[in-house]
Chains A and B, each alone.
Chain A
Amino acid sequence: DIVTTQSPDSLAVSLGERATLNCKSSQSVLYSSNNKDYLAWYQQKPGQPPKLLFYWASTRESGVPDRFSASGSGTDFTLTISSLQAEDVAVYYCQQYYTTPWTFGQGTKVEIK
Chain B
Amino acid sequence: EVQLVESGGGLVKPGGSLTLACAASGFNFTSTWMTWVRQAPGKGLEWVGRIKSKTSGGTIDYAAPVKGRFTISRHDSKDTLYLQMNGLKTEDTAVYYCNIGPKYWGQGTLVTVSS
Contacts and interface: CB of A to CB of B under 8 A. Distances in A.
Contact of A104 (B46, B106, B108): B46
B77 to A, nearest CB: 26
Q: How large is the interface on B (under 10, 10 to 19, 20 to 34, 35 or more residues)?
A: 10 to 19
A103 B47 contact: yes
A49 B107 contact: yes
Q: How large is the interface on A (under 10, 10 to 19, 20 to 34, 35 or more residues)?
A: 20 to 34
Interface stretch (B16-24, B68-76, B84-92, B96-104): B96-104
Contact of A52 (B45, B46, B97, B103): B103
A93 interface: yes
10 contacts: A42-B45, A50-B45, A61-B103, A93-B45, A95-B47, A97-B101, A101-B47, A101-B61, A102-B35, A104-B46
